[in-house]
Chains A and B, each alone.
Chain A
Amino acid sequence: MTALEPPEDAPRVELCDQMATLWRGGEKRDFTLEEMPEKLARWQLESKHSVYDAIERDEFIPFNAGHLPVVATWGQDSLTPNLANKGVGFTPRDEYIEHYVDLVESAVEEIEKVPSHETEVTRALRLEAAREFYRHPEHVDWRRLGLLEIFEGTTYRNLAGNPFASVLWTGNAPVYLSYQVDCLVEIIERGDPRYRFAWAMRRLFEYEPFHIVQTIFPYAYCFWIIGSRDKTPKRRYPGKRTDNTVNEGHGRIDSQSRSS
């Protein structure tokens, strides 16, 4: 066993249909899996297409909010969470994953025949492979997220001992769409098709300027969604409201809250 391999009594996550089971210290706990909220899924799809369009036009991409949320993990005895922006993507549903692994790995095989710095030569092929997946949102498994581990640092240590994480996305003005999703985390290894898909998708864009080139990805994570919260900011009106178009409290705005 190397220093980084989890101990034999490490928590274990098992999946069965719509349930995830965590085994830890001889105890079993079940969680119901949930799909990502529809508004967040729509935003993710639009974000992917926007970023691919920007790559196609060779535009500067200052930040990719859909892909780089803040991920919180914590050890069982931690007083505070560890926060880090992580690259987060999606994986195909099990019944489609073989097809998409083949599609993206074949594209990677082609682009590796060309010197890595010649990104312009392979751009069309790389974009077509990535777009093909997101062109079929019904093929995406919206219950799970895929992440690649690089440094085996605090996030990895936390997840190996306490396989829970929260993810927070925040979009741009004027909406500032923001969601937290809470996840049970499965650590997955190289042979797993979810690892292969995530790694192949990464390699499609490895040498674009927005990526810091990486070649070592010892593990991947499958974040199974077990809860979510809409954190998008809204103006507070009198009364409880979740949508600016509803008319709870008769939809009236009191005189003190008026502004122009």
Chain B
Amino acid sequence: MNYITRNVLEQVLARVGAVAEARGDFYLIGETSLVWEDHRSWTDEIEVCMILDQGAEDVLQGLKGVSEDLGVTVVNEFPGDVVPLPDDWRERCRSIVAGAALRLSHFDPYSVSLRFLARGDEEDYRLVLGYLEHGWVSLDEMDDVVAALLPRFSFETIAQDPAEFRRKYKGLQQMAKARGG
């Protein structure tokens, strides 16, 4: 298992930032966000999402090179490819570096919560509990987001299976309340 710390993450992002042609948005996702903010000491893979207007190929090459150099796994995924996202997900993203040609942000924590709860592994619940603990999401707002989105979850894909998602979300609510959340 790799133990990716903030220091490793800084090296990876420095490589991305060095791609002069890159224009657009580069997002950190899940535990990678928590490590960047020192809310966790490590993660085992770097999870990102890129929505680039220009330089995507160069950034991908840079990521491939740095992941090989450092021996770390980089996962590039748009959460909306797995579950429906709230219409205002862009407004909910948390900016890290704004005003540059390549903007760096944390992807909307509500969207990320839904995406990982849909998978529902032990670390996925802990991720959302981490977001709750640090005030990135609230249960009340998440209830509203889930209520609005659940009708769009499709029975046609396992990742979205609304019956399973409902069970997992209820489990998260109970875990959070048991922790005094």
Q: With A39-B122, A241-B158 given, name 16 new contacts (CB 8 A).
A: A35-B1, A38-B1, A41-B1, A42-B44, A42-B123, A174-B170, A174-B174, A175-B171, A244-B118, A245-B82, A245-B158, A251-B159, A253-B158, A253-B161, A258-B155, A260-B166
Interface of A is mostly: loop
Tell me which residues from 122 to 181 in chain B have a Cβ below 8 Å from any Cβ of chain A: 122-123, 125-126, 155-159, 161-164, 166-168, 170-172, 174-175
Residues A39 and B171 in contact in the complex (CB < 8 Å), given A138-B3, A251-B159, A259-B163:
no
Q: Are A177 and B122 neighbours in the complex by a CB distance under 8 Å? A: yes
User: Which 9 A-B pairs give the minimum distances between C-beta atoms?
Assistant: A174-B171, A251-B157, A245-B159, A38-B1, A175-B122, A177-B122, A259-B163, A245-B119, A251-B158
Query: Could you tell me the dominant secondary structure of chain B's interface residues?
Result: helix
Asked whether any CB of chain B lies closer than 8 Å to the CB of A171, the reply is: yes
Task: Give the size of the chain B interface in residues (CB under 8 angstroms).
Answer: 31
Q: Please, how many residues of chain A have a CB less than 8 angstroms from a CB on the other chain? A: 30
Q: From residue A155, how far is it (CB to closest CB) to chain B in Å?
A: 28
Distance between Cα atoms of A216 and B41 in the complex (Å): 37
The interface residues of chain A lying within 8 Å CB-to-CB of B42 are 137
Contacts of A41 in B (CB 8 A): 1
Instruction: Write out the residue numbers on chain B whose beta carbons fall within 8 Å of the beta carbon of A46.
Output: 122-123, 126
Q: Known contacts A39-B122, A135-B41, A175-B120; is A244 also within 8 Å of B157 by CB?
A: no
List B contacts of A135 (CB < 8 A): 41
- CB pair A173 B162 closer than 8 Å: no
Complex-state Cα separation, A218 to B144, whole angstroms: 58
- A260–B1 touching, CB < 8 Å: no
B172 to chain A, nearest CB (A): 8
Judge whether A175 and B155 touch: CB under 8 Å: no
Complex formed: what's the CA distance from A142 to B118 in Å?
A: 29
> What chain A residues lie within 8 Å of B118 (beta carbons)?
244-245
